[in-house]
């Protein structure tokens, strides 16, 4: 493996589109070579995601069952208690997770909300886990508060390409997301930033998402690639399913364009068979969300994941 501090050669939008157009075997071969150049191909990073505050979000993201704009059967719930979060983090650590991510359905945290999250971060950090939070948009000074509490990563996804974004979300714009990412970087936090595919976007727009992620300087340390989970009651419930091999292509292109990032299989894994997931790992994915639930949608059980890891010879980072 090469030195992870060596600079990344950034691909243009045209270069990323050219990768998508490669024959499948050639693309996976190139992605696997890039992956082996930076990572152990038989190691995988395990993260667990917990919804610490569910439902009632004022944003209208078309994919999200937690939006107050949609009737998707997700009730608004209060913030979880600190003891319950600590217990969930302990269980995640016992199951092999190395990173614990806490998500809240907010447009952005109010000061009193952030005080509660800060306590959660301290407790989870004390268990020896890496900490991550996804709390929506951050105001000046909030990222610094989280950093001081011991937060390692902040997740804020771009979701999709700029020219498709308005078809999915209208309550915040693309620049709002970039501004939060800049606040996170300025505070010295690691960035977790990716997107969602299968929302009706074109291949060019999938390339546009990856081009945006690759253009971030520095590139995100973690890049979650979500396959849309179509939830009844959301505007995207009837979106046409993305072809499985097109999703694998997207993983491979992300690996090549973001060679130093952990590329994470995120939402949608429950709908993937073992063979599709194996192809994604071959294409350069080296991180997953581990546990039976992702915020409000299902995820493969720990036992199923462990059987797959055993079959593939994968072990945790």
Tens digit of pLDDT for each residue in 36-72?
A: 999 999 999 998 888 888 766 778 787 887 776 777 6
Please give the DSSP secondary-structure letter assigned to residue 159. Answer: B
**Any idea which residues carry the catalytic annotation?**
57, 61, 64, 101, 132, 192, 264
pLDDT for residue 76 is more than 80 = no
**Rounded to an integer, what distance in angstroms lies between the CA atom of residue 137 and that of residue 134?**
9
Task: State the pLDDT at residue 181.
Answer: 96
pTM above 0.85, yes or no: yes
Task: State the pLDDT at residue 69.
Answer: 72
Per-residue pLDDT tens over the stretch 199-210: 999 999 999 999
Question: In b/e form, how buried is each residue of 75-96, taking b as 16+ CB within 10 angstroms?
Answer: eeeeebeeeebbebbeebbeee
CA 170 to chain centroid, in Å, comes to: 21
**Rounded to an integer, what distance in angstroms lies between the CA atom of residue 255 and that of residue 125?**
29
pLDDT for residue 4 is more than 80 = no
Q: Select 27-241+252-267+286-304's CATH number: 3.40.1390.30, 2.70.98.60, 3.20.20.70, 3.40.50.12780.
A: 3.20.20.70
Crossing angle for the helix pair 274-282 and 302-312, to the nearest 10 degrees: 50
**Rounded to an integer, what distance in angstroms lies between the CA atom of residue 247 and that of residue 4?**
26
**Rounded to an integer, what distance in angstroms lies between the CA atom of residue 280 and that of residue 133?**
25
Q: Length of the chain, please?
A: 317
Instruction: Find the mean pLDDT for residues 268-273.
Output: 87
């Amino acid at each position: 493996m090469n030195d992870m501090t060596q600079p990344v050669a950034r691909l243009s939008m045209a270069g990323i589109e050219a990768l998508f157009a490669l024959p499948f075997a050639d693309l996976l071969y190139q992605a696997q070579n890039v992956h082996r150049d930076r990572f152990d191909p038989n190691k995988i990073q395990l993260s667990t995601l917990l919804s610490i505050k569910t439902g009632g979000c004022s944003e209208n993201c078309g994919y999200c069952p937690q939006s107050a704009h949609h009737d998707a059967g997700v009730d608004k719930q209060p913030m979880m208690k600190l003891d319950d979060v600590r217990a969930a983090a302990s269980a995640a650590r016992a199951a092999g997770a190395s990173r614990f991510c806490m998500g809240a359905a907010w447009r952005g945290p109010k000061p009193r909300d952030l005080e509660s999250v800060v306590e959660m971060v301290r407790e989870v950090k004390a268990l020896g886990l890496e900490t991550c939070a996804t709390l929506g948009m951050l105001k000046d000074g909030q990222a610094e508060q989280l950093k001081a509490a011991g937060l390692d990563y902040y997740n804020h996804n771009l979701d999709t390409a700029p020219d498709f974004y308005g078809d999915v979300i209208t309550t915040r714009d693309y620049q709002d997301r970039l501004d939060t990412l800049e606040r996170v970087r300025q505070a010295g936090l690691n960035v977790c930033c990716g997107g969602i595919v299968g929302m009706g976007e074109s291949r060019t727009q999938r390339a546009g998402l990856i081009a945006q992620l690759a253009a971030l300087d520095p590139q995100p340390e973690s890049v979650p690639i979500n396959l849309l989970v179509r939830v009844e009651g959301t505007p995207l419930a009837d979106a046409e399913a993305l072809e499985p091999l097109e999703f694998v292509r997207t993983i491979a292109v992300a690996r090549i364009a973001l060679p130093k990032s952990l590329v994470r299989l995120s939402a949608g894994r429950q709908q993937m068979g073992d063979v599709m997931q194996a192809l994604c790992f071959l294409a350069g994915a080296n991180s997953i969300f581990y546990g039976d639930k992702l915020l409000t949608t299902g995820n493969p059980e720990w036992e199923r994941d462990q059987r797959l890891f055993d079959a593939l010879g994968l072990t945790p980072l």
